[in-house]
Each structure stands twice: as structure tokens, then as C-alpha cells.
Amino acid sequence: MRNIQLYCVLFFISLLISAVQPKDYFTWFLEVIPALIGFVVLALTYKRFVFSNFTYFFILLHCIILFIGGHYTYAEVPLFDWVKEVFHQSRNNYDKLGHFAQGFVPAMIVRELFIRKAVIANQSFFNFVIVAICLAISAAYEWIEWWVSLCTGDGGDAFLGTQGYVWDTQSDMLCATIGAICMLVFCSKAQDKAIENQYK
């Protein structure tokens, strides 16, 4: 319980810091709204389903990634400008970190739901279904970015964040898929242990 309260405090502190003189308030709003919606959903369902502290921690990290992207815009995060220069990259790739998290964290959420609610009986399809769901989430987000860009014109360019890269949409979905697979490969045992310690 204490961990969850701490995470809530850190969430709102990070949100408020990101709202202080962002690059553009419209872009900031578009970038942070998924985190705000997620917070509301988790709060409304808290009495019926409480995730492990392990999963909540990574949800918080994902929100902070969104807040940073909202503050600077994904194409202008200073640390990744430095990475761009040092490694001679053609663009600021902070958005790829964001899309990696967009696969990694939903995979963690879906996996815990599947385990604790016994959603899938056939374990041979377990990981495949999780990755497929994460890819579907990523694709849906790309549709939203496309729709917002069409509706807002130049105002949505920073939200879209392609930086002139023609394969941006496809690479975003690839990063999300890689993120989901990395979560399953590297964090499944840690999540199992966290669930077992907290709920069994």
C-alpha cells in the first residue's frame, strides 16, 4: 500500500514538473493524456484488481517517459540530442524508447492479468497472445497519431514526431513488439516472484 501511495505522489510530481513551460502545451497535452487516462482507469478498478508493486513501478516509469516526451516533444529531448550527436544518428530517437515502453509495459500488465485471472488455459499460446495484444495496442496508437495529425494539421506534427523518417510508423510498431518480447524474456520470472510474494 505504501509503495502505491509513493508511486501516486511521484506520478503527480512528475506530471506537474512536465507541465512547467513545456515546448508546446497542445503537444504536451496530447503526449500526457494516455498517462492520465491510464491513471483514472487504474484508480477506478483498484478495488476490484490491484496489480503487484513490480508492475505498478514499470507503469510509473512509462508515465514518466510520456511526461518527458510531452515537456520537450519527442524530437527534442536533450539527452537524446546528445546521443544523436555522439553516435552520429540521423534523428533524435527518444520516441523509439517511448514505443519500446509502449510494448514492454502493456506486456507486463496483460501478463499479470492473464496469470491472476487464469485467462489462457493453453500455455503454448500464452506469450504469443501477449505480444499480439501489445502490437495491436501499438497499431491503434499509430492510428490515433495519424487521426490527430489529420485533424490538427501543423499542430499535430510534433505529436506525430516522424522527423522526416518515412518508416517511422512501422519502426514504432517494431519497437513496441521488441519491448513486449524483451519483457517476456527478461522479466517474466521477476514478475512471477513479485506476484507470488504479494498475492499467494
pLDDT, tens digit (0-9, with 9 covering 90-100), for 97-135: 999 999 999 999 999 999 999 998 788 899 999 999 999
pLDDT, tens digit (0-9, with 9 covering 90-100), for 154-169: 655 555 555 667 788 8
Amino acid, res. 9 = V
Domain ranges in the chain?
A: 2-199
pTM of the model: 0.93
Which pLDDT score is estimated for 65?
98
pLDDT in tens, the chain (200 residues): 679 999 999 999 999 999 999 999 999 999 999 999 999 999 999 999 999 999 999 999 999 999 999 999 998 999 999 999 999 998 999 999 999 999 999 999 999 999 999 998 788 899 999 999 999 999 999 998 888 878 876 655 555 555 667 788 899 999 999 999 999 999 999 999 999 998 76
Residue 117 Rama label (left phi>0; alpha psi -120 to 50; beta):
alpha
Which pLDDT score is estimated for 145?
84
Task: Please give the Cα distance from 145 to 161 (Å, whole number).
Answer: 9
* Largest CA-CA distance found in the chain, in angstroms, rounded: 52
